[in-house]
Amino acid sequence: MATGRTHRPATRSRGIPEATVARLPLYLRALTALSERSVPTVSSEELAAAAGVNSAKLRKDFSYLGSYGTRGVGYDVEYLVYQISRELGLTQDWPVVIVGIGNLGAALANYGGFASRGFRVAALIDADPAMAGKPVAGIPVQHADELERIIQDNGVSIGVIATPAGAAQAVCDRLVGAGVTSILNFAPTVLTVPDGVDVRKVDLSIELQILAFHEQRKAGEEAHADGAGPAAARRTGTGSDASADQGPDGDVPAVMPA
Amino acid sequence: MATGRTHRPATRSRGIPEATVARLPLYLRALTALSERSVPTVSSEELAAAAGVNSAKLRKDFSYLGSYGTRGVGYDVEYLVYQISRELGLTQDWPVVIVGIGNLGAALANYGGFASRGFRVAALIDADPAMAGKPVAGIPVQHADELERIIQDNGVSIGVIATPAGAAQAVCDRLVGAGVTSILNFAPTVLTVPDGVDVRKVDLSIELQILAFHEQRKAGEEAHADGAGPAAARRTGTGSDASADQGPDGDVPAVMPA
DNA sequence: TCGTGTGAATGGATTCACAGCG
DNA sequence: CGCTGTGAATCCATTCACACGA
């Protein structure tokens, strides 16, 4: 591997850690709230509290973006909103298709958070002919036969899969075949995609299972105070550091090393 | 200071790393599928492929649970299913309440993955009196006034919040006050909870924003010229970013919204 | 003085590579 | 042999602590 260099601090290095990227939307949301209240500047301490992280982490995160703060003062809210938006690519419009308009798909279509942040639901797609034409969230559902055409006509590069598990891989293949390169998967199944395609998954039952694990552990501790342990501290929260993800890492995208 | 959670390094004899816990449900799902096909044993290599991780990671994960495999052979599927279920606390029944029966809440109530894995929807709760009594997924919705009683009567310790962001913290406080110690939050807001309460969050727009970041990167090297034309699957084939030393990359910051 | 920005220290997770057992 | 189980090495993320600049 190419180690070495380090002789290039480059303030605007394009190497933003994945963990930092995952927190940027959190900061952005907190900043947007401040912006709406016309707060002009904010310190790392205040913003960190609003975003639910600690201030050292936040400052370190921001340091990867550049030096956007003012020592002794803090950060300019509007300016930071812009910088983070730009970094995340939200200054452009992302057309998105949602495939599988069941309960979940409909919930997603109605979810306000999309439109408000650079995303636009370009189409709703379902395999059930009975759904065709039916409006959901004001958008008529289109039949799956149209999938490729819709994606190409709208220049869609992000697809959301909200189908049953059994249909997910086939839908995924078609999306990728039509040019989609980023997929958000709600189906409880592992998707296989070619190199260059990102998959993120959201799995409700997995989240619950993780909670159950911790819950079980709490019950165990009160039943039997552990041996010579320092502090009778109870379990502590696991924070909500988006960690249990299937980010663009691990083995999920493709099976080839670069 | 908003969030009051400190992370204790769960380094107890029973100390399974958080990252491992997050993958156990994945293994469990893959194993369940094998079990249904009556596959008796599986190697780390095969199981890892089915779960979408690499085999070294899987073996390391399992080593935290104990030595459940047979060298030269692999793992006994049924046995592993049981061990992981037990470790996750799924051999017992977890009553769950879902608060906020909008599109998303209804989707969750209908989600089959819950019942199939030790979770039981004990009640659906909504603040809208018009919803009261209306059955969703075969369960009558109850009014929020009943929240405390429902939780206590059913011994609920896990709550799911699917309300609008504005109502989430208040609902959270009431859940915690009534005895809930684990919360799965779908509302796009940071929840503040007392020590000892776990919160996991699922945030649709954050996931999309992370995808947008990577998507933007892929399109990045494409000069500017923009185009706005139909995005005919453009990609740089960079695949895994690896440590690729970002090049100079034009894109001067400069611009400011003001 | 105050709070940012950042090297350095720490800690956790992943990967490597091989010893050891069936 | 083949495949598990695991120390050791590596990589990544978080935290510390303080110099520096407004």
d(CA B126, CA B121): 14
Q: Where are the beta strands (DSSP E) in B67-146?
A: 69-70, 74-76, 94-99, 119-126, 135-136, 139-143
Q: How confident is the model at residue B44 (pLDDT cuts 50, 70, 90)?
A: very high
Q: Residues B148, B121: contact at Cβ < 8 Å? A: no
CA of A180 to C1' of D8 (A): 41
The residues, any chain, with a CB within 8 Å of residue B247's CB and separated by 6 or more, are A14
Residues 119-158 of B with CB under 8 A from A: 119, 157-158
Contact B54 A251 (CB under 8 A): yes
Q: Residues A186, A160: contact at Cβ < 8 Å? A: yes
- The reply to whether A15 touches chain B by the CB within 8 Å rule is yes
Lowest mean pLDDT among A79-83, A241-245, B11-15: A241-245
- The reply to whether A68 touches chain B by the CB within 8 Å rule is no
- The pLDDT, as a whole number, for residue B236 is 32
As given in the structure block, the two tokens for residue A77 are 């809210």
Q: How confident is the model at residue A253 (pLDDT cuts 50, 70, 90)?
A: very low
Contacts by B109-116, CB closer than 8 A, 24 or more apart: B109/B136, B109/B137, B109/B139, B110/A102, B110/A103, B110/B136, B110/B137, B111/A103, B111/A104, B111/A204, B111/A205, B113/A188, B113/A204, B113/A205, B114/A204, B114/A205, B114/A208, B116/A205
Average pLDDT, chain B: 84
3-state secondary structure of A97: strand
Which tens digits make up the pLDDT trace of B109-130? Answer: 998 887 777 899 999 999 999 9
Lowest mean pLDDT among A130-144, A178-192, B5-19, B222-236: B222-236
As given in the structure block, the two tokens for residue B257 are 């919204």
Average pLDDT for A173-202: 97
Average pLDDT for A88-93: 95
Q: How confident is the model at residue B21 (pLDDT cuts 50, 70, 90)?
A: very high
User: Does pLDDT of B248 surpass 60?
Assistant: no
Determine how many CB atoms are found less than 10 A away from the CB of residue A102: 16
Pairing type for strands B182-185 and B158-161 reads parallel
Q: How confident is the model at residue A114 (pLDDT cuts 50, 70, 90)?
A: confident
User: Does pLDDT of A11 surpass 60?
Assistant: no
3-state secondary structure of A193: strand
Higher-confidence residue of A2 and A202: namely A202
A46 DSSP assignment? H
Which tens digits make up the pLDDT trace of B155-198? Answer: 999 999 999 999 999 999 999 999 999 999 999 999 999 999 99
Average pLDDT for A13-30: 93
Contact B182 A212 (CB under 8 A): yes
Residue A75, judged by CB atoms within 10 A of its CB (0-12, 13-18, 19+), counts as: buried
Lowest mean pLDDT among A111-125, B17-31, B56-70: A111-125
d(CA B176, CA A166): 37
- The reply to whether B36 touches chain A by the CB within 8 Å rule is no
Which tens digits make up the pLDDT trace of A132-158? Answer: 999 999 999 999 999 999 999 999 999
Q: B221 contacts in A (CB within 8 Å)? A: none
Average pLDDT for A25-44: 98
pTM listed for this prediction: 0.84
HSE toward the beta carbon, residue B203, CA cutoff 13 A: 25
Classify each residue of A11-40 as buried b or exposed e, where b means 16 or more C-beta atoms within 10 Å of its C-beta: eeebebeeebbbbbbbbbbbbbebbeeeee
Closest CA–CA distance from residue A127 to any residue of chain B (Å): 18
- The pLDDT, as a whole number, for residue A222 is 64
- The reply to whether A236 touches chain B by the CB within 8 Å rule is yes
Q: How far is CA B215 from CA A149, A182, A201, A255, B86, in A?
A: 21, 7, 16, 20, 40
Average pLDDT, chain A: 84
Nucleotides of C under 7 A from a protein CB: 1-7, 11-17, 20-22
Closest CA–CA distance from residue B225 to any residue of chain A (Å): 14
- The reply to whether B224 touches chain A by the CB within 8 Å rule is no
- The pLDDT, as a whole number, for residue B104 is 95
Higher-confidence residue of B197 and B2: namely B197
Average pLDDT for B139-147: 98
As given in the structure block, the two tokens for residue A81 are 């909103």
Higher-confidence residue of A229 and B123: namely B123
- The pLDDT, as a whole number, for residue A258 is 24
> Tokens 């952005």 correspond to what residue?
A28
d(CA B182, CA B196): 9
